[in-house]
Copies of this chain bind each other. A is one copy, B any other.
């Protein structure tokens, strides 16, 4: 209804209007100008649906946020959305978002997007050990990029992830430079049951000449309290703590406060995962990580490049330091009264 309108107003063919507006070279400068003017005058905006039907692309990519409530204290997915969008907006592509609980219906949501050709590609966040979503996408040969890493399929999937070993090295070195000699690293048992969970930590300690203490806590109950208690009675008496997850760092931070201890003074804390949760804290928690939105931006950029055929590979993004006030020269948590 709209190209036609310009066409009849100017006594030109629809074809010419289309080509002029698309910037093709085979339109005389004079008519092109007339067309552009008229289009602007009537406020022409092309009908996306017609365009999409015609060239068989959805001009959109999909993103699924987990719907499990409570799982999002870190609100990392909102940052993902921002990151994806910031790459998408220059291309005039749309971002379709769905929410799905990891249960039964999640896969059917993926099918709907993929098979209904509603999106041209997908961004998948927080992969799980055995991930039916990824299996499905691989099997249908649909373009997608994973944010974060999926151990089980090293080569087959395209992924964008923070260089975790580098982050660990940066954190441990920073603590060493502050004067710490013994550093603990904590992670929740549930998150990641692999064998080499502390591998990067060990390597970093070795490199920095630091004595490393490995802690594993159950995520379901008060993880922060458990960690703090563990540290206070630990024979090695670590003066600093590296947390793998934001929630864990936050919990420990709170647990310290409720004991009248202060992060940064009594115990240095560095977190390897970014989250608005940590920035809301007072004092701010030191983070060594790549921000979630940059990661998502990178993933989206990679997805767009995949149109030109790109071999799947793991893409490592270097972490950055966001200095807070929770790390500094060693204090000593176990020397304090409880």
Q: Which residues of B contact A58 (CB under 8 A)?
A: 49
Q: How far is the CB of A273 from chain B (nearest CB, A)?
A: 14
A49 touches B53 (CB 8 A): yes
Contact of A45 among B72, B89, B99, B116 (CB under 8 A): B116
Q: How many chain-A residues does the 8 Å CB contact rule pick out? A: 58
Whether A34 sits at the interface, judged by CB under 8 Å, is no
Which A residues between 34 and 76 are near B, CB-CB below 8 angstroms? 43, 45-50, 52-53, 58, 60, 65, 67, 69-70, 72-73, 75
Distance, CA A49 to CA B52, complexed state (A): 6
CB atoms of B282 and A255 under 8 A apart: yes
In angstroms, Cα B94 to Cα A116, docked, is 11
Instruction: Say whether A96 contacts B99, CB under 8 Å.
Output: no
A115 pairs with B45, CB closer than 8 A: yes
Q: A257 to chain B: which residues have CB within 8 Å?
A: 254, 257-258
Q: How far is the CB of A162 from chain B (nearest CB, A)?
A: 18
Contact of A94 among B48, B85, B96, B115 (CB under 8 A): B96
**Oligomeric state, in copies:** 2
Partner of A86, one of B77, B99, B116, B258: B99
In the complex, A279 has a CB within 8 A of chain B: yes
The minimal Cβ–Cβ distance linking A228 to chain B, given in whole angstroms, is 12
When C-beta atoms are compared, the residue in chain B nearest to A68 turns out to be B82
The listed residue (B52, B72, B96) touching A78 by CB distance below 8 A is B72
Q: Could you say which of B50, B97, B277 contacts A97, with CB atoms under 8 Å apart?
A: B97
Known: A72-B276, A276-B70. A47 touches B117 (CB 8 A): yes
Whether a CB of chain B sits under 8 angstroms from the CB of A144 is no
A70, B279: Cβ atoms under 8 Å?
yes
Contact A117 B48 (CB under 8 A): yes
A98 within 8 A of B: yes
- Of the candidates A65, A111, A262, the one having the most CB atoms from chain B within 10 angstroms of its own CB is A65
B99 and A97 form a contact (CB under 8 A): no
A sample of 21 cross-chain residue pairs with beta-carbon separation below 8 angstroms, ordered by A number, consists of A43-B115, A45-B112, A46-B116, A48-B118, A65-B82, A67-B82, A73-B75, A73-B279, A75-B78, A89-B98, A92-B112, A96-B97, A222-B282, A247-B280, A250-B280, A254-B257, A254-B281, A257-B258, A258-B282, A260-B260, A277-B280
Having A48-B117, A53-B53, one finds 18 other A-B pairs with CB under 8 Å, namely A43-B115, A45-B111, A47-B53, A50-B53, A72-B78, A73-B276, A73-B279, A75-B78, A85-B99, A97-B97, A225-B282, A247-B280, A250-B280, A251-B282, A255-B282, A258-B262, A258-B282, A260-B260
